[in-house]
């Protein structure tokens, strides 16, 4: 497979991350979880009581945040490390989900994260998922996928994910969280969640993860074949 950039955007709990991880694994590409980056920043802000309404405070805090993806003995994919500490489990908790959209909507935060993401993708051969990968981070990506799904199905998936991590959260709370995040993500001024004109829409409501992976791999093969012929 030729080195290309695969951008997978969409709403939360549509299967983006799981699909992206498996696609990267099958292609031998690097997987970059941009959501984990914003969650790690959110964790730092909460732990250090950073005021989101104070631009100077936010800007200064960002200079003290060092993020990296590192493989561990217990993980099949790289975990998120914040200033040298593995925060992979902590950033998946509900209290982070409740705040991450507000943090990621800040201009300084997005500028800092996008800069890192673009540097990570210079060599291509990456699969990156998020909210603005195909529209802002890598508008030149050879393959863009935009995922969506029905609200009840998304909420059920997220609730199951939390349960597997030992967090029992009522479905109504999960739905409220997803709706709040959708509203913030789609209306923020900085790189709002929107489908790129050349992105392929995939409704995952009634698809298994295996089917989602197969769809992305199918389009990836088409893109590479077209490049070779062209």
CA angle 137, 138, 139 (to 5 degrees): 110
Provide the total of helices (H) and of strands (E) in the chain, helices listed first: 9, 8
Write the pLDDT tens digit of every residue in 121-134. 888 899 999 999 99
Write the pLDDT tens digit of every residue in 219-228. 999 998 887 7
155: nearest Cα among 216, 79, 94: 94
pLDDT at 165: 87
Beta strands in the chain (DSSP E): 5-10, 30-33, 67-70, 79-82, 85-86, 126-130, 143-148, 200-203
Mean pLDDT of all residues in 19-26: 95
* pLDDT band at residue 76 using 50, 70 and 90 as cut-offs: low
* pLDDT band at residue 2 using 50, 70 and 90 as cut-offs: confident
Write the pLDDT tens digit of every residue in 174-203. 999 999 999 999 999 989 999 999 999 999
Mean pLDDT of all residues in 71-77: 73
């Amino acid at each position: 497979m030729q080195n290309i950039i695969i951008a997978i955007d969409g709403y939360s709990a549509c299967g983006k991350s799981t699909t992206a991880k498996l696609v990267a694994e099958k292609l031998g590409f690097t997987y970059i979880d941009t959501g984990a980056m914003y969650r790690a920043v959110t964790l730092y802000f909460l732990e250090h009581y950073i005021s989101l309404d104070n631009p100077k405070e936010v800007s200064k805090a960002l200079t003290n945040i060092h993020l990296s993806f590192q493989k561990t003995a217990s993980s099949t994919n790289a975990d998120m490390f914040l200033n040298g500490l593995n925060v992979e489990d902590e950033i998946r908790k509900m209290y982070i989900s409740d705040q991450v959209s507000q943090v990621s909507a800040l201009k300084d935060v997005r500028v800092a994260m996008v800069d890192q993401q673009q540097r990570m993708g210079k060599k291509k051969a990456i699969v990156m998922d998020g909210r603005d990968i195909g529209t802002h981070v890598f508008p030149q990506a050879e393959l863009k996928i935009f995922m969506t799904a029905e609200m009840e199905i998304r909420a059920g998936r997220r609730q199951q994910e939390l349960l597997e991590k030992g967090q029992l959260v009522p479905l109504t709370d999960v739905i409220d969280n997803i709706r709040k995040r959708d509203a913030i993500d789609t209306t923020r001024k900085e790189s709002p969640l929107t489908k790129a004109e050349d992105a392929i829409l995939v409704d995952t409501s009634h698809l298994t993860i295996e089917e989602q992976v197969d769809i992305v791999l199918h389009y990836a093969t088409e893109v590479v074949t077209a490049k070779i012929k062209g």
